[in-house]
Amino acid sequence: MRTFGPLHPASRSAHRGPGILVFLLLTLAAAGVHAQDKPAEETATPAESAQPAATSIPAGQIPTRAEETTRTLRAVRDRLGPSEAVEAVRKEMQAFGETLDAMEQSEALNELERLGLRALDELRINWDSADRRLRRLQATLSTRSAELEAQIAILDATKQPWQMTIDDRSATGLLPDALADRVRATLGEIKVVNDLVRERLDAVLTLQNRISQRLVVVEGIIGNINQAQGSFRDNMLVRLDGAPLWLLFAKKESGEEDEDLQDIMGASARQSLQNARGYLEDHPDRVIAVGLTFLVLAGILLAIRSRRHARQAAEGDEEKEDVIDVLSRPIASAMLVSILIAFWLFENPPLALIELMRMTAALPVLLLMRRVVPEEMRLPVYGVIVLYVLDMGGGLLARNP
């Protein structure tokens, strides 16, 4: 009898072959369909992103949206109040503009090549100060203009859906007259606020442009001063890496130098002193204030010293020698305090006057320190003070005017 056992391996593979082939064909077909569908989805995404974000307002939402827009416009209008910062810039620029006009008409700007290094330094200080002041005003206006531009962006975004609503529905007659009038009224309110913001922005930008034009002029002048300073330093009489003065005088005596160094240094010192004298003559009130300060302080200190001496004579006390006693040198103390006050009172003084005040301050300092410096240490201390005075005085001679 013939029995049926398990299929032979070869027969099983023969039966599986068609099934596997069908499975593979179905898999490839599904992959092809998915590959065709995927680009379609990817191409649909840019189309959706290209649609405008703003759309027309549904008729039922117009009253509510109108109330929201009114609140937005009210907030923008509240922020449009008079800007104290811009008004302060306008007033300051009006006064400062006159100062700049006077500075630009200075004869010194036409004679930069003939000025000394000290005069050039003074010009540079003044124009650098003007540059910093203008940039500070410009920064204030830039902040305000950025705020106004942000408000304009808000108004443009608010206007767009309302404009689309009136354009889309009014033309087709689908919007009731009452709602159409409400939309037009809202657009009118937006236009009024928008015009007001742009008017404020135009005023700020006009002021910014005025300051920008001033900055261009100031930068040009500073550039000319820098060029003159560079040219001057190339011809300086005394420089850090230059020959010592004794060698220059030796060259003059030997005939190697044609210029008279004494005349050059004398002219430089005279010019410096003339600058300092001119400043003092232009500000007599400050000179009088410093002089009165010196007289009052000296009188007070002298009176206190007299009373203390009388009391010490009655009590038999002796003065201490190991402390700085301002009453022991009332004139020197009053002079030192007056010089310190002069540095505060003299606004933008010439550099020559500053060095002269520093040289003068060395004298009261020397007198006051004399009480506390041991005798064996006085010579080095005096030497330091002398070198300090020579260094300050050298600034009056260390250039070729």
Residue 223 to residue 136: CA distance in whole angstroms: 20
Q: How far is CA 53 from CA 50, 56, 70, 160, 251, in A?
A: 9, 10, 21, 10, 85
Separation of alpha carbons 293 and 305, rounded Å:
18
Angstrom distances, CA of residue 366 to CA of 161, 165, 342:
82, 88, 19
C-alpha 356/C-alpha 332 separation (Å) is 17
Q: Where are the beta strands (DSSP E) in 258-354?
A: none
6 DSSP 8-state letter? S
What is d(CA 186, CA 183) in angstroms, rounded to the nearest whole number? 5
Which residues are CB-contacts of 187 (< 8 A; sequence separation ≥ 6)?
A: 159, 162, 163, 166
How far is it, in rounded angstroms, from Cα 134 to Cα 214? 8
The residue to which tokens 């011809």 are assigned: 235
**Which residues, 6+ apart, have CB-to-CB distance to 297 below 8 Å?**
333, 334, 337, 338
> What distance in Å separates the CA atoms of residue 57 and residue 102, rounded to the nearest whole number?
60
Rounded to an integer, what distance in angstroms lies between the CA atom of residue 204 and that of residue 86?
A: 7
Q: Please state, in angstroms and rounded to a whole number, the distance separating the CA atoms of residues 165 and 150.
A: 24
Residue 339 near residue 117 (C-beta atoms within 8 A)? no
Q: Report, as ranges of residue numbers, the positions in the chain whose pLDDT lies below 50.
A: 1-18, 20-51, 171-172, 239-242, 258, 321-324, 398-401
CA dist 381 and 358 (Å) reads 17
Query: What is the distance between the alpha carbons of residues 164 and 173, in angstroms, rounded to a whole number?
Result: 14
Residues of the chain above pLDDT 90, percent: 21
What is the pLDDT at residue 396?
59
From CA 168, how far away is CA 57, in angstroms rounded? Answer: 10
Are the CB atoms for 246 and 319 separated by under 8 Å? Answer: no
First to last CA, the chain: 138
Contact 301, 336 (CB under 8 A): no
Nearest residue to 166 (alpha-carbon basis) of 50, 272, 65, 297 = 65
> CB of 217 within 8 A of CB of 130?
no
Sequence-separated (6 or more) residues with CB below 8 Å from residue 48:
none
Q: In the prediction, which pLDDT does 80 show?
A: 79
Q: What is the pLDDT of residue 380?
A: 82
SS3 241: coil
C-alpha distance from residue 171 to each of 28, 53, 55, 65, 177 (Å): 54, 22, 16, 21, 12
Q: If you ran DSSP here, which 8-state letter would residue 326 be given?
A: G
pLDDT digits (tens, 9 = 90+) for 331-371: 888 888 999 999 888 877 777 788 788 888 888 888 877 77
